[in-house]
Amino acid sequence: MTDNEEKQSRFMKDFDRLEEIVRTFEQGELDIEEGLKLYKESAGLVKTLQERLEEVENEIEQVQKQTSNGKDAED
């Protein structure tokens, strides 16, 4: 589950960061140094995001109901 949390926050973090960089470019009077630095960062983000989007299979896990307690299939 922590894997999943990290995975999720990573995609959204990367996506949000990419949007932030776009906004910085749109608003800011960036100098060439900053521009190149952000461009490099965005290229890394795009790569990670695209890799995630290229995943094909969805995983299905059925919850094993246990009426006595709330334990689930992973316990």
Partner 1 sequence: MPGIDLDMSEEHIFSVSEFNEYVDLLLGQQLPEVVVEGEISSLNLRKNWVFITIADEDSRCEVFSFEHQLTHTLSMLEEGMLVKVYGRPGVHTRSGRFRIHAEHVLPSGEGALRVAYEKLQQKLAAEGLFEQERKRPIPFFPETIGLLTAPDSRAYSDFKKVLGERMGGVKILFYPVQVQGAAAVDEIVAGLEWFAQTDQAVDLLVITRGGGSLEDLAAFNTEAVVRAVYGSPIPVVAAVGHEADNSLVDLVADLRASTPSNAAELVVRHRDELTSRVTGYQDSIYQRLELIVSGNRERISRALVSAERFFQAQRYVVSQYERRVEAIRIQLNRMVADHIMHLRLYGRDIERYLQTRVNEMAAELDSLKRLLAHLNPQSLLERGYSVTRGPDGTVIKDVLDLRLGDRLFTQLERGTIESRVEKVKEHERSDSSINNQ
The site for partner 1 (CB under 8 A) is made up of 1, 4-5, 7-8, 11-12, 15, 18-19, 21-22, 25-26, 30-32, 35-36, 38-39, 42-43, 46, 49-50, 52-63, 65, 70, 72, 74
The CB-of-41 to partner 1 minimum distance in angstroms stands at: 10
The CB-of-67 to partner 1 minimum distance in angstroms stands at: 8
What are the contacts of 48-56 at 24+ separation with CB within 8 A? 48/10, 48/14, 49/11, 49/14, 49/15, 49/18, 52/11
Nearest to 25 by CA among 39, 8, 5: 39
